[in-house]
Amino acid sequence: MLRLFKSILVMSLIATLAACGGGGGSSPNDLQNQETPNNGTDTGGTDNTDTTDNGGDDGDSTPPMTEEQAQQLLTLVDTNNQFTVSVCPQAVLGTQLGGAIDVLACENEALTNISLGNDNVLGLLCADTVAATDTDLLGSVTEPTFLQNCLMESGAYLADTLSGLLNNGGAIGQQLCPTSEDPVTCIVEVANTVPDSTLKGVLGYLGCDDALNPQVCLSQVADNLSQGEPLLGTVNALSMALCPIATGADSYQPQDCLTEVLGGVGSILNLTGGLGELCPEGADPFTCLLAAGDNLGPISDLLGGGPIDPAILTDLLGGLAQPGNMDLLQTLPTLLSKIPVLGPQLADQLANGGDFFGSLQDLQSLPALLTQIPVLGDILNGAAGGDAPGLPSDLSLETLLAGLSGDQLNTVTDMLAQVPVLGDVVNQLLGAVSCEAANPLDCLTASAGQLQQFSDLLTQVPVLGDILNPLLATLTGAADGNPLAPATDLLSQIPVAGDLLNQVLTALQGGAGGDLLSPDLALLDQAPDLQGLLEGLVNGLMSGDPSALLGGITDSNGNLLTSLSSLVASLPVVGDLIGDLLVTLLGEAQASSLLAPLTDALADIPVLGPVLDGLLGLLG
């Protein structure tokens, strides 16, 4: 039945691929049949009629996958190979390379990862298939379809995008798949290859460290190549460095440039300035092109796709020559994904010769912050005039609470009643990201400036984002379900945990009435165990697991951390609260035994009389 099902699926997918010209991500052939603009460089004239094809092959496109090739590709679904190791590592445990696996277990593992959001690898291999997958089928699948669809999407994309590499006619193909005559058989050969020094060497050359995921590596290379090829669409600073023969010809042909780049595999470029920063040390033309696609691709997308104007590219490379700007450039994808309204502003700035890297510098508090608290990206996007459905114009805790009802309102009010300082923090955050949207870039820059120290705090104590993001998401209606429910349920059972979290956060903001956007970062140096205590409290609350509350108080053997004495010395009030929490979780007898070393350590510190009395009271 499974064999028949595969055959039917193959036929339908072949028909689809033949109609669409290939599956899986976008092919990098968007430059075909475009005119290449003349950038004013003295090349003796250009006719600018031809453009870049995929991977150096002749012809307008890669031929559609044949039925035989598709059948060969689908042999990877039911065996242990590098594809299945990537998409369902648990299901292949206990089997040898090439051995049969439980296909349904593999399928359900993949669906589980998608449902949990753990689909980074799958999203890279077959983003369209992941997006179209119904995870409600989890556990009820009787005939696997996801794996086949994912494999066909990935295989077609790689065969189309890397057709000039995945054969034995070039230096890379000879190393990756010496016996394969076409890209599809190369993919199958690589997936069934034991990761040896040769494979590791090739993948390392391509910029991938993990030899156990060659298909993931090749997908990254394909993405970078598809982003890099348009950069060769004109005679510009990059193309002149990578293909001097093609750019020096009377008529510049981007396809000739790409062919020259592929022919330069193994040679060493002598790059300086911005190109030296853009490309890895010791790069050859191909690895430099991949790096350019990876780093400049987002800018090409920002400007509408296709080749970047040579003058803009020259300005960008000039900026990259300045120390630190390469790091700034690498934060651009995060900023654009979290704050889409920023894109048109930066595009206008680039087109008009503005200080692009200066703006990125001004926004540098945001990437890490938005990674920890993603919902702030939606709030910032709305505040700067972008799309933010359902958000009121007056961003404050009161207005957001007024928009809630039922369980969500009860959950938030219960949380804020148990940990009232969180209400202050929410108001402070909302105040920092509220601004006039007349000039979105200035608006976002002002917000970033106010959030700088708070971002520093989240860098040191990232677990704070684990409680602030679901709180803000619930308040703004962006939450999926009720993510605060485990925390509020646990707080109702163990209210001292809320008291302890409230006290620690109050101390970090400099005491009652302080501002967590200007935190007391020195306190983290004075009391290094404060971070561990926070991690234990937040992890325990958000998981609803009482035992996890002990994570920052006891070691792996269940003993009290001896270094807690320095934390209690810096924040005496937490001593009693830690004692109360231990008594609640462990009972008086076990808590007394654990607390004895702490009271001994603090006995010689006169200013700790009140807290010591409290701890001794617990022992009595």
Alpha-carbon span 425 to 487, nearest angstrom? 18
Tokens 């006619």, residue located: 169
Q: Which of 16-25, 123-132, 291-300 has the lowest mean pLDDT?
A: 16-25
Alpha-carbon span 198 to 218, nearest angstrom? 15
pLDDT given at position 596: 62
pLDDT at 41 > cutoff 50 = no
DSSP state string for 310-374: HHHHHHHHHHHTSTTHHHHHTTHHHHHHH-TTHHHHHHHHHHTT--HHHHHHHTTTHHHHHHHST
User: Tokens in use for 51?
Assistant: 């453009």
pLDDT at 429 > cutoff 80 = yes
pLDDT given at position 40: 37
pLDDT at 361 > cutoff 70 = yes
The residue that leads in pLDDT, 486 or 552, is 486
The residue that leads in pLDDT, 62 or 309, is 309
Q: What pLDDT band is residue 591 in, cutting at 50, 70 and 90?
A: low
pLDDT given at position 16: 33
pLDDT given at position 196: 79
pLDDT at 148 > cutoff 60 = yes
pLDDT at 44 > cutoff 50 = no
Q: What pLDDT band is residue 140 in, cutting at 50, 70 and 90?
A: low
Q: What pLDDT band is residue 48 in, cutting at 50, 70 and 90?
A: very low
pLDDT at 430 > cutoff 50 = yes
SS3 79: strand
Tokens 């870039």, residue located: 441
pLDDT given at position 553: 79
pLDDT given at position 597: 59
pLDDT at 296 > cutoff 60 = yes
Q: What pLDDT band is residue 390 in, cutting at 50, 70 and 90?
A: low
Closest by CA position to 505, among listed 461, 456, 540: 461
pLDDT at 442 > cutoff 60 = yes
pLDDT at 246 > cutoff 90 = yes
Average pLDDT for the chain = 80
Strands (E), 108-163: none
In this prediction, residues 572-576 reach a mean pLDDT of: 72
- Helix (H) or strand (E) holding 63, with range, is none
> CA 116 from chain center: how many Å?
15
pLDDT given at position 530: 82
Query: How much of the chain exceeds pLDDT 90, in percent?
Result: 34
Compute how many other C-beta atoms are within 10 angstroms of the C-beta atom of residue 86. 24
Alpha-carbon span 253 to 251, nearest angstrom? 6
pLDDT given at position 305: 84
Contacts 24+ apart (CB under 8 A), 2-5: 2/78, 2/103, 2/143, 5/143
Give the bridge partners for 100, in sequence order: 79
Check: CB of residue 162 under 8 Å from CB of residue 218: yes
Give the bridge partners for 554, in sequence order: 560
Residue 105 to residues 72, 118, 140, 142, 345, Cα–Cα distance (Å) = 22, 17, 11, 10, 47
pLDDT at 519 > cutoff 90 = no
The residue that leads in pLDDT, 239 or 133, is 239
pLDDT given at position 139: 65
Identity of the residue numbered 582? L
Query: What digits encode the pLDDT tens for the residues 465-510?
Result: 999 999 999 988 888 888 999 999 999 988 988 898 998 898 888 8
The residue that leads in pLDDT, 156 or 57, is 156
In this prediction, residues 41-51 reach a mean pLDDT of: 37
In this prediction, residues 374-398 reach a mean pLDDT of: 81
DSSP character at residue 135: G
Alpha-carbon span 438 to 446, nearest angstrom? 13
